[in-house]
Amino acid sequence: MYYRQAGTYRTDYAQDMRLLPLKEDRILLGVVLLAAFAVIPFTASDYWLSAILIPWLCLSLVALGQNILMGYAGQLSLGAAGFMAAGAFACWNFMHRVDWMPFPVAVFLSGLIAAAIGIVFGLPSLRVRGLYLAVATLASQFFIVWVIDKFGWFKDYDSSGIITAKDIVIFGKSFTSPAEMYLVVLTITVVLTWAAMNMARGSVGRNWQAVRDMDVAAEVMGLSLLRTKLQAFAISSFYCGVGGALFAFTYLKSVEPAAFDINLSFRVLFMVLIGGLGTIIGSFYGAGFILLLPVFLNIFFHALFGKAVDATITSALEQVIFGVMIILFMIYEPLGLAKLWQNFQERMRRWPFKF
Amino acid sequence: MNPEILFFFEVLLGGLLAGVMYSLVALGFVLIYKASSVFNFAQGAMVFFAVLSFVGFMELGLPFFLALLVTVGLMVLVGMATERFVLRPLVNQHEDTLLMATIGLAFVLEGLAQLVWGVEVRRLDLGIPDVPIMWIADATGIFVSALDLVAGLVAAVMVAVLAIVFSRTKVGLGLRAVADGHGAAMSIGIPLSQVWVFVWATAGIVALVAGMLWGARAGVQFALVGLALKALPVLIIGGFTSVPGVIVAGLIVGASEKLAEVYIGPYFGGGIEGWAPYMLAVLFLMFRPEGLFGERIIRRV
Amino acid sequence: MNAVTESHVPGVERAFPIGGPILQLDAISLRFGGVHALTNISFDIREHEVRAIIGPNGAGKSSMLNVIGGLYTPQEGTIRFRGETLSNMTPGKAARMGIARTFQNIALFKRMTVLENIMAGRRLFTHASFLEVALQLPRARREELESREKAEEIIEFLEIQQIRKTQVSRLPYGLQKRVELGRALAAEPQILLLDEPMAGMNVEEKQDMCRFILDVNDHYGTTMVLIEHDMGVVMDISDRVVVLDYGKKIGDGPPDEVRNNKDVIDAYLGVAH
């Protein structure tokens, strides 16, 4: 990296246990946050804000949820989109039925609803894992979307079956421009990411990982497998629900249940696999990658053929690229982009020496 | 006979025959699982890939049997490529890692098939009429098509052949040894790569057959992948290691989803068959995780 | 028997003299289907002692340990902990009673670091809910710091400072065994069950492990129950030995007594029937 660690001494454990033990890292984070909050909203174009940055943050939250469950607690899930749908429609109903409810409160409550559903569908994890569990989560995926689709109440009997996002109003101030919505999403994302980091590297995360790596030993230490797994399901679904609500209100804007189909679940899975299982930051890398690949493919084809290529071809090509990347990552670096970046940092730390 | 009862039997029969299709997909899955303890998520994608390629070759002007032969060859190639580029580098890895890799493989196959052959829905005419056979309809009042009967028959023959290969031949013995442990099998001189190529090629051919029967019924299109996904609940209900298990489970899933759709569906606006098999599988997971005929999962310390 | 006050170093007083029975096993029988893993086994474990369970392969040693640890439920017999009869033992209950263990085939959390593994062992001392942890409320921070301090104490004790941030799957076998001992110690157990702590080790590693076991016993007064194949080791470090063969108890007593027991010699050397 561009700065060295030498000469940094930690004199007590509290210093060693900080989120970012290096002073340089803390400065860097400060700069990034400052840019994200104070520079980007005023400089980025509306296209960048509403077509790239907002969905990236929303999907990063969802990927974070998927990663908590899969990367930390080791429970394979193919149902992220179902919980996103639950969050999105719960949020719409809160906003629709309770006039005065501030948007962040509605989002938080939607997360709780998704968490409750997550606990129910997490129950099979007490008996099975791996592909068996994946099939159980597929059930949640199909069932949740079906329920929202078929029961008119969830859409307040709108004949089109599509809901339209309400304006985001927080204590009288409305957030409707891309920059304003971006700030709302960014704030929620930063807070939830901070919370996830605290859990992941604290006792909660160690319990999840213990269950993932060796459940018998975890049980012998006095850990309740039941509680730990359901907790992971609940928290993961909470993040998916919040991400889904934000995704619907700030990106999709008009939402039908079919938007949260199995393909979206797979995309979330890929974000985690490519970004890095069991790393918080990897969720952001993965979401960014999955989101940007089609954009880059389009630019690439434009440059190559001078015109846009049929969307079906790019989407098929995307599938092939995702598939190949997942196979390669599974073979060479199961911890994904996050690990690649870490390896690079470690190499730079020693540079120009080999060892 | 009472028309309501007749209707019930008709729905049931329709469900059972759809179930045969699920069983066929699940069969390829069991084959690979038994021989390598890999959960092959790509089995559904292989169905789509195989039948789309077959239709594609026919469109290029190849006669039926030549197209069939070429597609079989293609599936063998897919098996070899999978062994070389996916399985071999992942020998002895955790089963979840292998599962993820096969999810990647599924997307590669789906994407490739659409890149090469396009995304339009194709019709596939096997020359077997998919209309009710009149003399059966006249005699019993139940409508069954020749395609249904052929599908059932093909499934039965495949199951019988595979069962014999597994239990009676030296190849089958080798497969079972590999399933027990990759390293151990290699150490007693079983050529792991050849066994895997063999199994994956066979599963590819099973996928082709399933895809042809299915494509003839529903058209050759991407939706086949979603249908093939229903092989997963079938596997859970049947038990991942049992050939007869998946056949019975396929029938159960097919029959129950159609009955649920027809008798319960109208009250909720339909679409129950989209999730019913998965919910049934969840119930099994809660109360009988090893499935109907599977081996009990034993935890050792 | 009189209380033993001499420590493992001859002539030095034991900091924790051996006391009364802490765990009493009475007529334990365990079956798996038709297989009799344990038949009518009774013995006791005294507070602060090093108790070994030995026997040939398949004698039921691991089953015995799993019964004590709550992983297996025997069909017959009772277990008393400090005089109190236990029923419906589960691993969780055993842990809360102060029983910790290591496994025959190392059962570490492979993808976590040494430090994280040992801190994970502090499970019973962390009470902060996930919300407190997520929001870094004072109790969560305090417990985390306490866990770290305790873990560092164990790391120092086991002399594994330089690998504290290494992922355990990258450590050699002997060190992994040591880390597993550390994780068990983090629970501050009253009884520590060690399932073949020295299996697969070379002489030097065995000596190290012996030293750690005795140090733990001396330093924390932890009662030790260990399964071991190496007779030399067993005779050296244990206070009393139980001998199992084919699921039955064939000997029980101090090492010297057991060594001269005819049944034990037969079981180990084989005898023409």
Q: What is the CATH number of the domain that holds C194?
A: 3.40.50.300
* Cα–Cα distance list, A118 to A83, A94, A112 (Å): 7, 19, 9
| Cis peptide bond prior to B233, omega within 30° of 0 | no
Chain center to CA of A228: 20
The H-assigned helical ranges of A164-214 are 178-201, 203-213
What does the pLDDT average to over B131-150?
Answer: 76
pLDDT tens per residue across span C129-168: 999 999 999 999 999 999 999 999 999 999 999 999 999 9
The gap from C-alpha A149 to its chain's centroid, in whole angstroms, comes to: 24
Residue A215: C-alpha distances to residues A73, A211, A223, A232, B260 (Å): 10, 4, 9, 14, 38
Q: Evaluate whether residue C140 is within a structural domain.
A: yes
Separation between Cα atoms, residue B238 and residue B292, nearest integer Å = 5
> Which among A204, A214, A222 is the nearest to C108, CB-wise?
A214
| 3-state SS class at A175 | strand
The angle at the Cα of A67, spanning A64 to A71, to the nearest 5 degrees, equals 155
For residue B301, list chain C residues with Cβ-Cβ distance below 8 A. 62, 66, 71, 103, 107
How far apart CA B110 and CA B39 sit, in angstroms, is 18
- Judge whether A64 lies within some domain: yes
Regions of chain C with pLDDT less than 50:
1-3
Which residues of B fall within a CB distance of 8 Å from A327?
A: 85-86, 101, 104-105, 108
Residue B66 pLDDT class (50, 70, 90 cuts) = very high
Q: Which of A126, A326, A333 to mutate to test the interface with B (most CBs of B within 10 A)?
A: A326
Verify whether the Cβ–Cβ distance B107 to A128 is below 8 Å: no
Q: Judge residue B87's burial from the number of C-beta atoms within 10 Å of its C-beta, 0-12 exposed, 13-18 middle, 19 or more buried.
A: buried
* C15-34 residues touching A, CB cutoff 8 A: none
**Nearest CB partner across the interface for C95, out of A212, A216, A220:** A220
- Domain count across chain A: 1
- B2-53 pLDDT tens trace: 778 888 888 888 888 888 888 888 888 888 888 777 889 999 999 999 999 9
Chain-chain contact of A198 with C100 (C-beta, under 8 angstroms): no
Instruction: For residue C38, tell me if it sits in a domain.
Output: no
Cα–Cα distance, B12 to B14 (Å, whole number): 5
Q: How do strand C240-245 and strand C248-253 relate by DSSP bridges?
A: antiparallel
Whole-number pLDDT of residue B284: 87
CB C81, CB C69: distance < 8 Å: no
Locate B36 and state its tokens: 């390598």
- The mean pLDDT value of chain B amounts to 85
Residue A167 located in a structural domain = yes
Query: Which residue, among B1, B25, B51, B29, has the nearest Cα to B254 in the 3D structure?
Result: B25
Chain C partners within 8 Å of A196 (Cβ)? 134
Mean pLDDT by 10 residues, chain A (355 residues): 65 82 86 93 92 96 97 94 96 91 94 96 86 90 93 84 84 88 96 96 96 93 94 98 96 92 94 94 95 89 81 89 94 90 83 69
Q: How many domains does chain C have?
A: 1
How many other C-beta atoms can be found within 10 angstroms of the C-beta atom of residue C155?
20
CB distance A124–B96 less than 8 Å?
Answer: no
pLDDT given for residue C2 in this prediction: 44
Q: What is the DSSP string of B58-111?
A: HHTT--HHHHHHHHHHHHHHHHHHHIIIIIGGGTT--HHHHHHHHHHHHHHHHH
Q: Minimal Cα distance from C129: which residue of A?
A: A204
- Burial-class residue A1 by CB neighbours within 10 Å (0-12, 13-18, 19+): middle
Nearest to A209 among C71, C112, C187 (CB): C112
Is A87 part of a structural domain of the chain?
Answer: yes
Tell me if chain B has a CB within 8 Å of the CB of C103: yes
Q: Specify the pLDDT at position A217.
A: 93
Q: Residue B138: exposed, middle, or buried by beta-carbon count in 10 A (0-12, 13-18, 19+)? A: exposed
Answer whether C66 touches B (CB < 8 Å): yes
Chain B: partners with 3+ C-beta pairs within 8 Å: A, C
> Within a domain: residue C25?
no
Q: Residue C130's closest chain A neighbor by CA?
A: A204
Shortest alpha-carbon distance between residue A71 and chain C (Å) = 11
Closest CA–CA distance from residue C192 to any residue of chain B (Å): 17
Which residue in chain B has the smallest CA separation from A123?
B286
Chains that touch C (3 or more CB pairs under 8 A): A, B
- Whether the per-residue pLDDT at B232 is higher than 50: the answer is yes
Phi then psi dihedrals of residue C86, to 5 deg: -105, 140
Smallest Cα distance from B184 to chain C, Å: 18
B286–C contact, CB cutoff 8 A: no
Residues 26-55 of A with CB under 8 A from B: none
Of B269, B233, B268, nearest in space to B253 by CA: B233
Determine whether the interchain pair C120/A219 forms a contact, defined as Cβ–Cβ distance below 8 Å: no
Asked if the structure places residue A20 within a domain, the reply is no
- Which chain A residues touch C96 with a CB distance below 8 Å? 222
Q: How far B54 CA lies from chain A's nearest CA (Å)?
A: 19
Among A139, A323, A331, the residue with its CB nearest the CB of B111 is A323
Cα distance between residue A76 and residue A157, in whole Å: 35
Q: Write down the pLDDT at residue B2.
A: 78
Distance to chain A for B256, nearest Cα, Å? 16
Q: Kindly provide the b/e burial profile for residues A314-327, where b requires at least 16 CB atoms within 10 angstroms of the residue's own CB.
A: bebbbbbbbbbbbb
Which residues 159-178 on chain C approach chain A with CB closer than 8 angstroms?
A: none
CATH of the domain at A53: 1.10.3470
Could you say which of A198, A199, A222 has the minimum Cβ distance to residue C124? A222
Query: Measured between beta carbons, which residues in chain C are less than 8 angstroms from residue A14?
Result: 145
- How large is the angle between the packed helices B243-263 and B276-287, nearest 10 degrees? 130
pLDDT for the residue A160: 80
Predicted confidence at residue C272, as pLDDT, reads 57
Partner-chain contact A217 C94, CB within 8 Å: no
Other Cβ atoms less than 10 A from the Cβ of C170: the count is: 12
- Per the CB < 8 Å rule, is A199 touching C121? no
Picking from B101, B112, B286, the nearest residue to A320 by CB comes out as B112
Contacts of A220 in chain C (CB under 8 A): 69, 71, 91, 94-95, 100-101
CA distance B5 to chain A (A): 29
Neighbour-count burial of A340, counting CB atoms closer than 10 A to its CB (0-12 exposed, 13-18 middle, 19+ buried): middle
- Backbone φ/ψ region at B299: left (φ over 0), alpha (ψ -120 to 50), beta: beta
Residues of chain C contacting A211 with CB distance shorter than 8 Å: none
Distance CA C128, CA C149 (A): 17
Give domain status of residue A34, yes or no: no
Q: Are C181 and C103 in contact (CB under 8 A)?
A: no
User: What residues does each domain of chain B span?
Assistant: 23-238
In a domain, A22, yes or no: no
* Residue C251: strand pairing partners: C243
| DSSP structural state of residue C43 | E
Note down the domain range covering C132: 49-70+88-269
Closest residue on chain C to A195 (Cα): C134
**Spatial separation of the C-alpha atoms in residues A207 and C117, rounded to whole Å:** 10
Nearest to A131 among B99, B105, B299 (CB): B99
Residue C112 and residue A278: Cβ atoms within 8 Å? Answer: no
d(CA B35, CA A325): 26
Domain containing residue A149: 40-255+262-350
- Residues of A in CB contact (< 8 Å) with C are 13-14, 17, 195-196, 198-199, 202-204, 206-207, 209-210, 212-214, 216-224, 231, 235, 278
Q: Where are the beta strands (DSSP E) in chain A?
A: 163-164, 168-170, 173-175, 254-255
Candidates A320, A322, A325, A335, partner chain B, best to mutate (most B CBs within 10 A): A320
